[in-house]
Structure 1
């Protein structure tokens, strides 16, 4: 196979502070500044680079718009603990837990939205 794994993806946001709060406080990722002041969120061996709408870095997606992502993360803890954490953070769950199919087989997921209204799925392997 030509591709081994995902290194990073780029998220476009309208509000960098709200985005940083969600991905660090609610999802527990580590914020890092790199390059000339660029923001990224690290988790596992991957990262999410952040572009502020109207100030994207070239080259960029053809139509970089906030709220267009649909991401699924596999949790490092059980989904019941994830749900408890989201409740502690007062972050609403849109749907779930529900059974789904992930890249390597069955998963159990909850869905929520980040501040830019991207759809975020958090799952555990079933």
Structure 2
């Protein structure tokens, strides 16, 4: 088997429109609509997608115990850390920790940490 990349991740959330709005407005991620549906359940993050499902949804293809606020993911920004911090401040998004040096898949990066509305932990990083 030759794995090439991650295509998408799915976050469990309590309020779908609020989650879509947060990721679209704060991170400028384009909203993707499913074919033949007016419902928005997904945003584009670079070459990958972030999909959302509600914590009370019962579908056969969901994890055994989906829980809002249990995700921990890192997203890479193309801006300077000063710009990222100022942008988050302008949206009144509290910074939990950082900036700090971390090691990512491509080497050294600088990271800060925030929570989304469902308390998923988001590491926002930039490479040199």
Q: Same fold (TM over 0.5)?
A: yes
- Measured after TM superposition, the shift of residue 81 of structure 1 is 1.0
Q: Runs ≥4 in structure 1, deviation > 4 angstroms?
A: none
What is the DSSP-based 3-state SS (H/G/I as helix, E as strand, rest coil) of the residue aligned with 2:64? Answer: coil
- Distance, in Å, in 2 between the alignment partners of 1:97 and 1:12 is 27
Q: CA RMSD in A?
A: 1.5
Q: Which moved more, 1:18-27 or 1:3-12?
A: 18-27
Q: CA deviation at 1:56?
A: 4.8
Which shifted more, 108-117 or 78-87? Answer: 78-87
- Number of the residue aligned with 2:33: 33
Q: Give the TM-score normalised by the residue count of structure 2.
A: 0.90
Q: What is the CA distance between 1:17 and its match in structure 2?
A: 2.2
1:95, 1:102 → 2: CA distance?
A: 17
Q: Give secondary structure in 2 for the equivalent of 1:5.
A: coil
CA contact (8 A) 2:31 2:40 kept: no
The answer on whether the counterparts of 2:95 and 2:114 sit within 8 Å (CA) in structure 1 is yes
TM-score (norm: length of structure 1)? 0.92
Specify the alignment match of 1:13 in structure 2: 13
**Consecutive unaligned residues in structure 2, runs of 5 or more:** none
Q: Structure 1: any 5+ residue segments left out of the alignment?
A: none
1:51 to 50, 53, 77: 53
Q: Distance in 1 between matches of 2:22 and 2:109?
A: 23
Aligned residues: 126
1:2 to partner: Cα distance: 2.2
